[in-house]
Structure 1
Amino acid sequence: MTAISGYHHLTMSTDGAQEDFDFFTKDLGLYSVKRTVLFDGVLPVYHLYYGAKNGDESTIITTFPFRKPGIFGRRGTNQSKIVQQAIPVGASDFWVNRLGERGITATKSNRFGIDRVDFRHPCGIELQLVENPADNRAPIVNAAQGIGAEHAIKGIYGGVVAVTDRNAMDDFLTIALPLKKMADDAEGMAYEVPNPGGPNAVVEVVEIKDEAQGTWTLSGGTIHHFALNTGTEENQLKLRAHIEGLGFTDISEQKDRNYFKSCYVRSPGGALFELAWTVPEGWAKDEPADAIGSTLVFPPWFDDRREEIIAGLEPASFQDA
């Protein structure tokens, strides 16, 4: 069965809200797509969305800027390790130079025969810009930030998951989701995320046995989850039933995220995946379609807590130009 059509978004738990916003909108040239708050629990935490100006799903990176005293995540194995975005072929040198000029250490590398740029978010999470020759999406041009079409990020390429048991992860990815294995060698494993007629996207896996278990809780400096796009509710629920029927019972009921509906499943090692589909109104559910990401918005069920949450949020200036 194939109920997946590319990525929906990738989500990180970062640190300061201001440094996070400036990093994605100014350093990387993405646009603010939605500014809201964490829908789960009671802590006042931003939930920030970045991507293409129109909010195309396959471009969305979201963050929980989680600057809380004494609470910081532990990066390790059995955890999502790297967030990857696609760039045009030949754009690596531009990004190494641009990031370096902005005080961000960046180096070039090659894995599975594909060139990439390695660097880190200010909170320490590993990121890569990957030269994807199969990506036919329009680049996210940002003239105000000096990023033209020949170099601009195109959207999500994928993510890297660290595991202690590559065989268990292989079963989960190929049987439960299911994805097609593209590579399996000393460098690790790579799996193609189905996306008919669209850009090539992947999940990459590395086996790391000599590190401690990474944090699973919501805490700064860690990747929270990778979300795959099921396109429709029917596909989502069919895939959920398929995964649960295989015995992967650590899977949630459907959750309302206002702009999309989600189910979450934890892989055998612990990395969290989401199955998501966008509701018809999408990002324009609570903002004009031509002004998404310009205001702080709340879901209807937080109407009675709005002032309380605002009072607890970290002060920040969200100006992306």
Structure 2
Amino acid sequence: MSTGIHHVTGITRRVQANVDFYVGFLGLRLVKRTGGYEDAEQLHLFYGDALGSPGSVVTFLVWEDGAPGRVGHGQVAEIALAVPPESIGEWLTRAMTARVPVQGPSREFGETVLRLKDPDGVTVKLVGLDMPAAAPLPDPIAPTRLRSVTLFTEKPDETRDFLARFGYAEQASEGAIRRVASDTDVIDIRDATGFFGGIPGTGVLDHVAFRATDVDAVRQMRLALKGTDATSVHDRKYFLSLYVREPAGILLEYATDTPGFTVDESAADLGQTLFVPPHDAARAEDLRVILPQFALPGEERTPMRDLHFIHRFHRPEAPDGSTIILLHGTGGNESDLMPLAHRLAPNATLLGVRGRSTEEGINRWFRRYDATTYDQADIRAEAEAFAAFVTDASRAYGLDPARMTVLGYSNGANLIGAILQLYPDAAQQAILLRGLQVLEDAPQLAPDALAGHRVLMLNGARDPFAGMAPALEQALRRGGADLDSQMLAAGHELSAEDLTRAGAWLAAEPVA
């Protein structure tokens, strides 16, 4: 069996743009979509030839709207895909027509190369080289397989020697780059001494995986790597593998060719079903709501708008025209409450939103000085901004304000409470889970300011902050809201009773 590259894995912050580039522009096939095996709340997409053959596969972990990384030493820096030599001119035309950033053609190690940038800024080289595909794609000039990756290292000699374990031997050099070759592809080792170190994040390549002949080869490699940071052997369902960092810190994987991507889908249906790792089967339905949705080229899609809050939709299979807007608690994100909301209203479209304030790296909706003292100017500024966001989102996505519910937990519920007092027209129906009064100088609402508004407040009897809830209840009632405030046998955390009572309330009087 051949040695060489098995796959390369990167990290993207925009799943739809990623799919549009690798499937729509490059013409690769999406051969698998799954929750990540290390973190099932990360979508993992696999692209490749018609069967996802080892040596053709490029994969991406999706950190939707995640922080960008930095390319530097200690990283896989570039990937290169082989295309038919005579197609370079057509690829150049395609790139310019599609407005894909492109440089070249140029010559590298005697090969004709176009250098592209994917939507995250990852360098993707197209190399004019006759390397037949194991399972050809329909487009005659589509990439056939991986030609190479480029490694940035401060220890080029040690990196080269380490790669010999995976079947690579030095072949040539060109400037600061040494090229090592297996029997199927090459690795370019660039001396990056003096460069900044790489930082993990979106827009970087996480690791490169090499091909193992079988499971025994992986186990033998594990023994040979004794004394390094090599991991135990992991079952990734589609292959077994281990991970190790070479002397310069670059993450490498060693993976078997089998069983391959047809183990749970037929060849004709590859990439159609979202799979959840077996160890997360108990929360499969929640994960399918949490993981970001996308459309393949040609499928119906809703374009995402660039509004002033990071947001994400979940669209059910049979939408009923209602929308629930979700505001997470401290430390949460835009997808946290989607499973809860999906259980409340399975046919509602869910719009999760991310707070713009941060506290020691965690997401919030407004700044605070301590657990019960809040930045009043920031509350008012973010309430105004969010009220404007609701208006903009309704217009941009065609949402019906009369069939809209705003649901928040903890810090998110607190902002909703402030919005109801400051901008009553922003929401007609709201569910506040552990909501408090955070306005110190709350406006005196007219008796009919909240007329026609339905509000549910669910508080916890053991919640240490529950003493601040009655002030919010009183303010909403004075404004004329139809308020249903209930006390649960719970603390500040959410409980199964929240789902039961919120579901009953939501179903009792649907928004007209």
Whether these two folds match at TM > 0.5 is yes
Matches within 5 A, 1:97-246: 97-107=93-103, 108-133=105-130, 135-137=131-133, 140-142=136-138, 147=139, 149=140, 151-174=141-164, 176-194=165-183, 200-215=184-199, 217=200, 219-242=201-224, 244-245=225-226
Whether contact under 8 Å (2:239, 2:255) holds in the other structure is yes
Whether contact under 8 Å (2:276, 2:287) holds in the other structure is no
The 3-state SS of whatever aligns with 1:263 is strand
Label 1:124 to 1:256 Cα distance change in 2 as closer, same or farther (>3 A): same
Task: Give distance in 1, aligned partners of 2:94 and 2:62.
Answer: 24
The 3-state SS of whatever aligns with 1:24 is helix
Letter in 1 for 2:250: A
Task: Give distance in 2, aligned partners of 1:225 and 1:320.
Answer: 31
Letter in 1 for 2:170: K
Whether contact under 8 Å (2:8, 2:209) holds in the other structure is yes
Task: Give distance in 2, aligned partners of 1:89 and 1:165.
Answer: 33
The 3-state SS of whatever aligns with 2:10 is strand
CA drift of 1:63 comes to 0.7
CA drift of 1:17 comes to 0.8
Task: Give distance in 2, aligned partners of 1:279 and 1:154.
Answer: 20
Matches within 5 A, 1:73-92: 73-92=69-88
The aligned residue for residue 339 of structure 2 is: none
Task: Give distance in 1, aligned partners of 2:133 and 2:265.
Answer: 25
CA displacement, residues 149-190 of structure 1 (integer Å, 9 cap, x when unaligned): 2x221111110001122122122123x334111113424111
Letter in 1 for 2:53: D
The aligned residue for residue 372 of structure 2 is: none
CA drift of 1:127 comes to 0.9
What's the TM-score, normalizing by structure 2? 0.55
Whether contact under 8 Å (1:286, 1:297) holds in the other structure is no
The count of residues paired between Structure 1 and Structure 2 equals: 298
The aligned residue for residue 48 of structure 1 is: 45
CA displacement, residues 244-267 of structure 1 (integer Å, 9 cap, x when unaligned): 14x5x0211101101111111111
Task: Give distance in 1, aligned partners of 2:95 and 2:134.
Answer: 22
The aligned residue for residue 197 of structure 1 is: none
Label 1:241 to 1:270 Cα distance change in 2 as closer, same or farther (>3 A): same
Q: 1:292 aligns with which of 270, 274, 285?
A: 270
Point out where structure 1 has 5 or more consecutive residues left out of the alignment: 195-199
Whether contact under 8 Å (1:32, 1:293) holds in the other structure is yes
The aligned residue for residue 255 of structure 1 is: 234
Task: Give distance in 2, aligned partners of 1:307 and 1:139.
Answer: 33
Q: 1:25 aligns with which of 23, 26, 30?
A: 23
Please tell me the root mean square deviation across aligned C-alpha atoms, in Å: 2.0
The aligned residue for residue 393 of structure 2 is: none
CA drift of 1:320 comes to 6.1
CA drift of 1:14 comes to 1.3
Label 1:137 to 1:283 Cα distance change in 2 as closer, same or farther (>3 A): closer
Whether contact under 8 Å (1:193, 1:202) holds in the other structure is yes
Letter in 2 for 1:124: G
Do structure 1's residue 264 and structure 2's residue 228 form an aligned pair?
Answer: no
Label 1:110 to 1:132 Cα distance change in 2 as closer, same or farther (>3 A): same
Letter in 1 for 2:148: G
The 3-state SS of whatever aligns with 2:85 is coil
Task: Give distance in 2, aligned partners of 1:164 and 1:19.
Answer: 33
The aligned residue for residue 5 of structure 1 is: 3
CA displacement, residues 177-208 of structure 1 (integer Å, 9 cap, x when unaligned): 341111134241111123xxxxx301111112
CA drift of 1:236 comes to 1.7
Task: Give distance in 2, aligned partners of 1:295 and 1:319.
Answer: 16
CA drift of 1:129 comes to 0.8
The 3-state SS of whatever aligns with 2:69 is coil
Whether contact under 8 Å (2:34, 2:44) holds in the other structure is yes
CA drift of 1:139 comes to 7.6
CA displacement, residues 103-158 of structure 1 (integer Å, 9 cap, x when unaligned): 1021222111111110111001111011224x23368443xxxx3x2x22111111
Do structure 1's residue 59 and structure 2's residue 56 form an aligned pair?
Answer: yes
Task: Give distance in 2, aligned partners of 1:4 and 1:164.
Answer: 29
Q: 1:318 aligns with which of 287, 296, 301?
A: 296
Task: Give distance in 2, aligned partners of 1:154 and 1:73.
Answer: 29
Task: Give distance in 2, aligned partners of 1:17 and 1:117.
Answer: 24
Bigger RCO (CA 8 Å, 6+ sep): 1
CA drift of 1:21 comes to 0.7
Whether contact under 8 Å (1:111, 1:187) holds in the other structure is no
Larger Rg: 2
The aligned residue for residue 381 of structure 2 is: none
